[in-house]
Amino acid sequence: MRLFAPHELKHVNYYWNDATASALDPVERLIYRSNRLGDDQRITNTGGGNTSAKITMPDPLTGEPVEVLWVKGSGGDLRTAKRANFASIYMSKLNALREIYQATPNNGVKTAVEDQMVGMYAHATFNLNATATSIDTPLHGFVPFKHVDHTHPDAVIAVAASARGRELTQEIYGDEVIWVDWQRPGFDLGLKLKAVCEQYPNAKGVILGQHGLINWADDEKECYELSLTLIELAARYIETHDKGEDTFGGQQFAVLPDAEIAALLGDVLPYLRGKMSADHRFIGTVQLGGAVAQFVNSKDVVRLAELGTSCPDHFLRTKIKPLYVAWNPQTDTLDTLKAQLDAGFVAYRADYQAYYDACKRADSPAIRDANPRVILIPGVGLIAWGKNKSESRVTAEFYLNAINVMRGAEAISAYIALPRQETFDIEYWALEEAKLRRMPPEKSLARNVVVVIGAGSGIGRAVAERVAKEGAHVVCADLNLDAAQETADALVKTYGVGIGVAGTGISSCGAAIAAQVNITQRASVRQLLAQVLMAYGGVDNVIVTAGVFVSPDATGHITDDRWQMTFDVNVLGSYIVADETRTVWTAQGLRGTLVITTSVNGVVSKKGSLAYDTSKAAANHLIRELAVELAPLVRVNGVAPATVVDGSSMFPRDRVISSLSKYNISHSEDETTESLRDKLAHFYAGRTLMKLPITPEDQAEACYLLSVDSFAKTTGQVISVDGGLHEAFMR
């Protein structure tokens, strides 16, 4: 087989650089090859596929040269893989395992001894490498070539998931690529590949039925180029057979205009999230346009969606099939859509139970959540769900892969899915269950979407940081978009963007986004919530920390318009936020929380802050009124801070200086703002019972606690976080 030159490749990108590669050690070159393969999504899906190299290196005890299999381990991703993502095992010990396996009676695919081998890899570990090996390790170890790439390219899976897969493999690749029928990966499949290499000494790779591609070479660059060539050949073959406008039987419906899709999603997303989240909350990702639009609006979507996805990587995230609703976007109403979704969920869950009952074995784990993970709506697109944003993006990405696979397979033959028993034996595999059980317990705000208003500075920023630490998806909203963006960027930097490449517009986001909002404008709050729904699919907790303090002018007066502004921000704004979010909470039907920041000044009258204090007294009562209005779905509580000077936008330099002067605290105009604030904070601390300065973090802790189940039975209350000011005690 002739390998394509870089300029001949149209369907994959060539990234190999000799100068870069030659400067690396053999393990680094494997990582380099893996990353370059992963860089092109057409080569493999996020988290999918694995690579290996058999490298001779000195044994850490004897110093003798030994052959070590370096192979991408469980978890991780080719695109981002580092040394820590690779397991290393002695080839001699892997071969010893093979002898044990072969000597065991009743060995073979899905036997007990096959699964037991996974636990034995630890005995074969080279140099105490803690990275867990994956179930694909034997696929690499038993192929007698130095370098092996295993990938999940859509173009190759299209061949692998075709009714004529075996014949097409011969037609596209001749005798150098061998077809192997679907088999669950494990020790036995590794031995089948070994047998292929012995039977066909010229073979360069294998099409794994309904799964993917595996190929090999003794030179690593050749292995890389071979991977690209084999994918290019499949993609070219599909391209020449592409059905163009007749793809998926042609289009049945037209895509709705953007504005109609946006309005529909605003209504349907929280409704769907409620349906999804009866047992656990889910986070959504919306995918519109392109291949998704072509698929959901096609004539064949009903037949193909029902068949389900093929590659194991895909259906572990997408579930065996999506929920498709036969809604006519051109003639049916939104109410019809909701009724169809309702009926669709009921049917889907019943179907999943039937699948479980029909396929379960004596020792199968208990049935898992029966809800779909992918929802297809004609005229609109795809909505994917996962336990967090990263996972929901992965789910959307994998269904896009599945659509590409179906498009290719239907162009060159007919798409066929795996038999349901085979998908079940992957989905409910004891090893898969063990992996789920090893997951760390979820954090208190995992699966939650928290909107923090005022997140650009002070208490709001501290709240955003606090809830992010608890696993929340954080919407950092502020009047000042740049400040909000800074907070969101810092959160994404700390917690990472996750994996999965999908999502239209803001729906491709990570676990934090920034948004501009003016809470005194209803339209602005609506706009904010529309963004939040598009990003995550719903809202659970809202924390309002935005507020304004207006100082009297030189004559000691506050003008009427400044009074109005104070009430607009401190009272009306919180009301508008509550009133608008109520629509989302009601549509979801899930319990939520609202925390409003007021002030101890709401109960302590003081000279010079007439408008502010009065507005905060009103805000305290707003909390009680809202608690009544929003019960039983939403708990509403307040946090009343006192004199948080540190980092507060309500204590600009002028106000700090005027307060220092008012209290006769010695200071100089030359001092830094920080030093002036420090003096004032210590003065205020001295007036409290606890004698401690009050920080934004203290307020954030209270806001957080009122948002989680620590206070599940408390609503309509205001908690002072003021270091103990006896004049502010509630009576």
Rounded CA Rg of the chain: 30
Comparison of 212 and 693: residue with beta carbon closer to Zn ion: 212
Instruction: Output the smallest distance, CB 410 to Zn ion, in A.
Output: 22
Spell out a b/e string for 266-280, using b for 16 or more CB atoms within 10 Å of the CB, else e: bebbbbbbbbbbeee
Q: Give me the DSSP letters along 565-601.
A: HHHIIIIIHHHHHHHHHHHHHHHHT--EEEEEE--GG
Instruction: Output the smallest distance, CB 277 to Zn ion, in A.
Output: 31
Instruction: Output the smallest distance, CB 394 to Zn ion, in A.
Output: 15
Instruction: Name which of residues 177 to 216 contact Zn ion (CB under 5 A).
Output: 212
Burial environment of residue 288 by CB neighbours within 10 A (0 to 12, 13 to 18, 19 or more): buried
Comparison of 212 and 381: residue with beta carbon closer to Zn ion: 212
Instruction: Name which of residues 688 to 717 contact Zn ion (CB under 5 A).
Output: none
Comparison of 159 and 594: residue with beta carbon closer to Zn ion: 159
Comparison of 45 and 659: residue with beta carbon closer to Zn ion: 45
- Binding-site size for Zn ion (CB under 5 A) equals 1
Show the site string, 86-115: x = touches Zn ion by CB under 5 A, - = not. ------------------------------
Comparison of 157 and 558: residue with beta carbon closer to Zn ion: 157
Instruction: Output the smallest distance, CB 134 to Zn ion, in A.
Output: 9
| DSSP designation for 2 | P
Whether residue 46 contacts residue 500, with contact meaning beta carbons closer than 8 Å, is answered with: yes
Comparison of 191 and 453: residue with beta carbon closer to Zn ion: 191
Instruction: Name which of residues 212 to 231 contact Zn ion (CB under 5 A).
Output: 212
Comparison of 47 and 498: residue with beta carbon closer to Zn ion: 47
Q: Which residue is nearest to Zn ion, using beta carbons?
A: 212
Whether residue 517 contacts residue 478, with contact meaning beta carbons closer than 8 Å, is answered with: yes
Structure tokens of 605? 């009258």
Contacts of 528 (CB under 8 A, 6+ apart): 451, 475, 477, 515, 516, 517
Comparison of 209 and 329: residue with beta carbon closer to Zn ion: 209
Comparison of 157 and 702: residue with beta carbon closer to Zn ion: 157
Instruction: Output the smallest distance, CB 130 to Zn ion, in A.
Output: 23
Comparison of 212 and 456: residue with beta carbon closer to Zn ion: 212
Contacts of 252 (CB under 8 A, 6+ apart): 297, 298, 299, 301, 378
Instruction: Output the smallest distance, CB 196 to Zn ion, in A.
Output: 16
% helix / strand / coil in the chain, to the nearest 5?
50, 15, 35
Across-strand partners of 288? 381
Under DSSP, is residue 246 helix (H, G, I), strand (E, B) or coil? helix
Instruction: Output the smallest distance, CB 148 to Zn ion, in A.
Output: 12
Instruction: Output the smallest distance, CB 405 to Zn ion, in A.
Output: 13
Instruction: Output the smallest distance, CB 140 to Zn ion, in A.
Output: 11
Instruction: Output the smallest distance, CB 50 to Zn ion, in A.
Output: 7
Contacts of 454 (CB under 8 A, 6+ apart): 460, 477, 478, 544, 545, 546, 547, 597
Compute φ and ψ for 488, nearest 5 degrees.
Answer: -60, -45
Tell me how far apart the terminal alpha carbons of the chain are, to the nearest angstrom. 87
Q: Are strands 65-72 and 86-90 parallel, antiparallel or unpaired?
A: antiparallel
Chain residues binding Zn ion by CB under 5 A are: 212
